[in-house]
Structure 1
Amino acid sequence: MSHLAPYAESEELKALILDPTKVPRKDYLVIDVRDTDFEGGNIPHAVNVPAGQLLDRVHEIIDEYGQVPCVYFHCALSQVRGPKAARIYKESLHLQGIQTNQQVKVLRGGFEGWHAKYRKEKQLLENYDPSIWQWAIEDSDPENEQSALEDNPYLAGIPPPSQ
C-alpha cells in the first residue's frame, strides 16, 4: 500500500476557499509545514505545523482533524517537506488502523506557487507582508513577471497570476 499523496492544483483549493458554503478546518484543511519561512504570509485558515514538529504532533492532528474530508499539505515549494508530511500523516492513519475516506493531498507549487498566482487576490492570503516577498515581486511589469514565472523550474506549468 502506497502512502504517497497525490498533488492537487491550486485552483482546486482556491475554489474551496472562495466557496461560501465551505467551512475551513471542517470541510477542508490546509496544513502548512513551513518553519520560520511561514512568516510573511499563508493560505487563509492554514494550520502551521512546522515539519520538525510533525512526528510529535501527528496523533493530535489526526484526533482534531481526522473527520475533515480533504487535507492539503504544503511547504514552500511542496517538493520535500510537504510531500513527506503528507506521507507521514497517511502512514500514521494506517498504523493506527484508522479507515477513512479522507483525501490527503499535496498542494502543487507550495506557498511560493500560490503566492506567484494569487498575491494580488487579498482574500487568498492571510498575514501577508509584501516586504518579505519583495524578492518575488521585484518587478511589477506583467511581461517581466511572466518571464520570471516561465524561467522558474519550480513553477513550470503554473499560469501567471490573474490580473
Structure 2
Amino acid sequence: MAEAPKANWYDAFPAPKTTAALLSREAALSNLSSSDLLVVDVRRTDYEGGTIHGSINLPAQSFYMNTAVLYDLCKRAGVKQVAFYCGSSSGRGPRCSAWFADHLAEKGETEIQSLTLAGGIKGWVKAGAPFTQAVDGYDPEYWKQFGENK
C-alpha cells in the first residue's frame, strides 16, 4: 500500500493571492541602516551561517499567524518596506512576503510595501564583500558547503 504524500507545512494556511515585488540585494544593502526598511529572515531549522545585519527572525512556519502583529509593529515604527528572505528566496521568503502583501491589501495599506529579497541569504553571501560584512555571525565555513563564500 502506497504512503500518502506528506503535507507541506504551508498547506494549513490559505494560499497567497499576491506576489510581492523583488528587492535587489544592492538596494537592501544600501538601506540596511534606514529605519524605513525592516529585513525579516524566515528560516527556522536552517537558520545557520549568519543573518543579515539588523534582520529579525520570524520562522515561516509560524509567520501567517503573526502577520497582523508585524503589520502593527511596522505601522507604529514608520517602516516603509519589509523585505523577507530565506535560503534562496524561492519558497518560504516569497510565500511570507505574499502573505504580508495580502494583509497590507486587506488593510488598504499604501505606505508599507512587502518585498522578497532577491536571491535570499545564499545570493547575499555569494555576492561577497561588502555583503558578507553585513552578516551578523557570518561563518565562512558554513557557506563552503554551498560554494557560496568568496
Q: TM-score range, shorter-chain basis?
A: 0.7 to 0.9
TM-score, with length taken from structure 1? 0.72
Shift of 1:108: 0.9
The structure with more strand, counted as a fraction of residues: 2
Answering whether residue 48 of structure 2 is matched by residue 39 of structure 1, we say: yes
Shift of 1:135: 1.1
Aligned positions, number = 132
Which residue of the partner structure matches residue 125 of structure 1? 135
RMSD value, Cα: 2.1
Instruction: Flag the 1:7–1:122 CA change in 2: closer, same or farther, 3 A.
Output: closer
Which one-letter code corresponds to 1:27 in the other structure?
Answer: D
Instruction: Flag the 1:123–1:131 CA change in 2: closer, same or farther, 3 A.
Output: closer
Could you tell me which of 55, 63, 79 is aligned with 1:68? 79
TM-score, with length taken from structure 2? 0.78
Instruction: Flag the 1:133–1:57 CA change in 2: closer, same or farther, 3 A.
Output: same
Which residue of the partner structure matches residue 110 of structure 1? 120
Q: Deviations over 1:105-146 (max 9, x none)?
A: 1111111000100356553111112222221348x8xxxxxx
Shift of 1:65: 1.3
Answering whether residue 60 of structure 2 is matched by residue 51 of structure 1, we say: yes
Moved more, 34-43 or 97-106: 97-106
Unmatched segments (≥5 aa) in structure 2? 1-16
Identity of aligned residues (%): 30
Could you tell me which of 11, 26, 29 is aligned with 1:11? 26
Unmatched segments (≥5 aa) in structure 1? 141-160
- Write out the 4+ residue segments of structure 1 that deviate beyond 4 Å after TM superposition: 119-122
